[in-house]
Structure 1
Amino acid sequence: MEEQKHIKDYIVDYLLEEDAGKGVDPVLAEWLAEDESNRKDFDLYKKIWEESHLYTESGAYDSGLAWEKVDAINGQKKSSRQYLRNISYAVSGAAASLLIILTLSFMGVFQKKSDVLVRMTADYGNRSEIVLPDGSLVKLNSGSEVAYSYDPKKKIREVAFQGEGFFDVSKSKEPFVIKTAGGLNVRVWGTSFNLQAYTDDSVVQASLVEGCIELESGKEKLIMKPGEIAVFDKNTNEIKQVGGILSHSYGWLDNKLYMEDMPLSVVCKYLERWYDVEITLQSGLGEDIRYNGVIQEETVTDVMEALSRLSHISYHVKGKHISITSK
C-alpha cells in the first residue's frame, strides 16, 4: 500500500514535531495498529531518536556534511553503499541526521549502549567505502576492516582498523584515534591520509596527504606533516620517517601497483589480496626476482602475463590457484 511505502516519512515527521505537541498522523496511527511488530519498530526508532541527541550535538556530528558525503557516495559504487539502500528521498537539516541514524540503526550497526558502532569489511577481491557517523569517509582496500565507536562521555571517536584504507577524516574538536592490530595508534586532526596495516605484514605504513597525524606506540611518537611517509616496525616498535613518492602509496585507489625494487614475494601478496587468489612460488624466486615500474591491469591473468614478460618466470592458473616457476 502507498502509506506503507512511505511510512518512514511519517515517522520522521512525528519525531520532528513531537516536541511541538502535535498528535499522531492518522496514517501513522493506522500503521501502528496493523501489527505489533510495527509498534516495536516505532518504539525502537523513537528510542534511537531520543538517544541520538548525544551524537548530534554541535561539534560532535555534522549532519549536513555527513549527508553530503553519503549522497555523493550513493552515486558511485554500489558496494560502498549497501547499508544505505533504504534511503530513496532527499532530506535536510535535522531530518538528514535522523534518517542516517535510523537507517544505520535499522541495519543493526548502532549499539543500544552508550557507544555508537559501525563496522565495514572489504573481503579479498573487493573494495568498499563507508561514511562514518561523524561524516568521515573511509575507502577500504581488499582484505580490510574498520569498526567505529563513539563514547559521548569521553568524547572520543575511536576506530579499530586492519588492512589498508584511505581516510578523509572530518574536522572536530573531539579526538579521532585509530588503533591497529600491530599496536600502533594514529591520532588524527581532520585530515587525509593512507594507512596500510595488514595483520600479516611486519610494518604499518602511514602516508599523509594533508593535515596532521601523530603515530604513537608506547614511548615512541612521531608527528607527521603533509607529504611525509612513515613506517612502524611491529617487531622493534620503532617509528621512523621513510622516503618515497607519496601518491604511489595509495595508487590502489586507481588500481595501480607501483613497484620500486619490489620482490616477487611482495608483489604476490598484493595480488592475493586484490584478486582473492592463492599463489605458490618456486623456492628461491620470491626474493631473487625484483621489479620496478607500475602495473595496471584488468585481471590477475593480465598481471601475470605482464610479470612473465618482465622476468624469467612461468605461471599456471587453475581456478583460484596460481603456481609460479622459473622458465
Structure 2
Amino acid sequence: MKKNDYIRLSEKYIRDEATEEERERLFDWIRHNEKINRLMLKRLEQAACDVDHDTEMRMYEHIRTSILPKNKQVCLNRSWRKTIRRAAVWLLPILSAWSVYLFTSRPSSENDLLTITAPPGERAEVVLTDGSRVWINSGSTLTCDGTFNHKERRVFLKGEAYFEVQKDARCPFIVHAGEMEIEALGTSFNVNAYPDINHVSSVLLEGSIRVNAEGEEHILSENEQIIFDRSSHTLSTGKVYAADFIQWKEGNLYFENRSFDEIALTLSRVFNVEIRFASEELRAVRFSGTLGGGSIRNALDILSLTSSMCYEMNGTTVVLYCK
C-alpha cells in the first residue's frame, strides 16, 4: 500500500471506524515497520512505570508480535479484544504521531487534511513533526493541513487541548479554536473550545500568546486566562492558577464557577455517559473545585455533597434531581 493508504487506515482506527480487515492490514504494517517499532520502544521508555529492562522488553515484544498473529486466520477472542481496547490509549498517540509523520513527509497540498480525534472517554497525546506536543482531551479533534511546518504551523481545534510549542520565530504556531485565533512562540497553554459550551477560553502556563477574537487582540502573560463569551460576544481576561486548568491531563476535572449544565456536558464526554436533568433548576447551579476523574460516581458524589443535587444511575444513563 502507498503512504496515503496507511494514513487513511490510521485515521480510521483512531476514530474507531476501521473494519476488521482494515485493522489487520494496519497492525500487519506496524509489525513489519522498523521506524514505528522504534517509536513504540521510545514510548515504552517514557512510560511512567517502574519496570526493569527485561520486563520492558518482554512487554514491547508481546505487544508488537501480538498486535496481529502471523496466521491471519486466527480470530481474536473477546478477552484479547478487550486487551487491545485497553491499549488504545497507548496506541492512539503512536498512530496519531506516525500519521503526522507520513502526512508531512510526502508532497502535500493545502487541501490535504489530517484529523486526530480523542473519542469520548479517552485522551490522546501527539508529537507533531516540529517537536511540539499536544495533549487532546476527551471528545476533541485536532486538524492540520498539508502545509503544516512549511511557512507556518497552523492547526484547528474543536474541543480541548494542551500545547507545548517548540520555538521557531520563522514559522509561527497558530491555533484556530472556535472564535479565537491563538499565536504562540515557545509556549505552553491550554485551549477549551467545545462547540456545545457557551465560551471559548485559553490559559497561559509559560511564555506568551497573542489572542485574536471578534477583532480584538490581547497578549497574555503567564497565569492569565482569556474568555470569549459566545452569547454576549465579549472578551474578558483575568489572573488564575494556570496549572489547575490542565488537571484533565492526569484524569482530574477542574471547574471554576461553572454551571451544572456545563459540568454535565464535560462528565458526559469524559465518562461516555448520558446525563439528564429531572430538575431543570439544577442547570444553573454553579460549582468551583476539582472532581476526581476515577469514576463517574465519584464525581457525582462530590457534586451531591456540595449542592442540593441527587442522582440516579442506570447503566450509562444518569438522572439529576433536587434533594
* TM-score (normalizing by structure 1): 0.66
Alignment of 1:1-327 (within 5 A): 71=42, 75-76=46-47, 79-82=89-92, 84=94, 104-105=101-102, 112-115=107-110, 117-149=113-145, 151=147, 155-172=151-168, 173-180=170-177, 182-287=178-283, 289-327=285-323
What's the Cα RMSD here?
3.3
Q: Helix, strand or coil: the match of 1:120? A: strand
Q: Distance in 2 between matches of 1:208 and 1:165?
A: 12
Q: After alignment, is 147-156 or 226-235 more displaced?
A: 147-156
Deviation at 1:243, TM superposition (A): 3.7
Structure 1: distance between partners of 2:208 and 2:156: 19
User: 1:212, CA displacement in angstroms?
Assistant: 1.2
User: Take 1:239 and 1:312, find their aligned partners in 2: how far apart are those partners?
Assistant: 32
TM-score (norm 2): 0.66
* Structure 1: gaps of 5 or more residues: 1-40, 46-66, 86-99
For residues 294 and 101 of structure 1, the distance between their equivalents in structure 2, rounded to whole angstroms, comes to 34
Structure-2 change in CA distance of 1:265 and 1:212 (3 Å): same
Question: How many pairs are equivalent?
Answer: 247
CA shift in 2, pair 1:292/1:196, >3 Å: closer
Range 186-195 or range 69-78, more displaced: 69-78
**Residues 297 and 210 (structure 1), Cα distance of their counterparts in 2 relative to 1, 3 Å cut:** closer
Query: Percent identity at matched positions?
Result: 26
Q: Which runs of 5+ in 2 are unaligned?
A: 1-28, 48-86
- The question of whether the paired residues in 2 share the 8 Å contact of 1:158 and 1:178 is answered with yes
Q: Residues of 2 paired with 1:313 and 1:235: CA distance?
A: 27
Q: CA shift at 1:102, angstroms?
A: 8.9
| SS, match of residue 208 in structure 2 | strand
Structure 2 CA distance for aligned equivalents of residues 261 and 133 of structure 1: 37
Contact (CA 8 Å) 2:93, 2:125: kept in 1 or not?
Answer: no
AA aligned opposite 1:71 = K
Runs of 4+ in 1 over 6 A off after TM superposition: 67-70, 100-103, 108-111
Please tell me the residue identity of whatever aligns with 2:42.
Answer: D
What SS does the corresponding residue of 1:190 show, helix, strand or coil? Answer: coil
Residues 201/317 of structure 1: CA separation in 2 closer, same or farther (3 Å cut): same
Q: Residue 242 of structure 1: SS of its match in structure 2?
A: strand
Deviation of residue 80 (structure 1)? 4.9
The C-alpha deviation readout for 1:199-232, integer Å capped at 9, x for no partner, is 1122111110111111113521111111211112
Matched residues in 1 for 2:144 and 2:155: separation?
A: 5
- Report how far residue 233 of structure 1 moved: 2.5
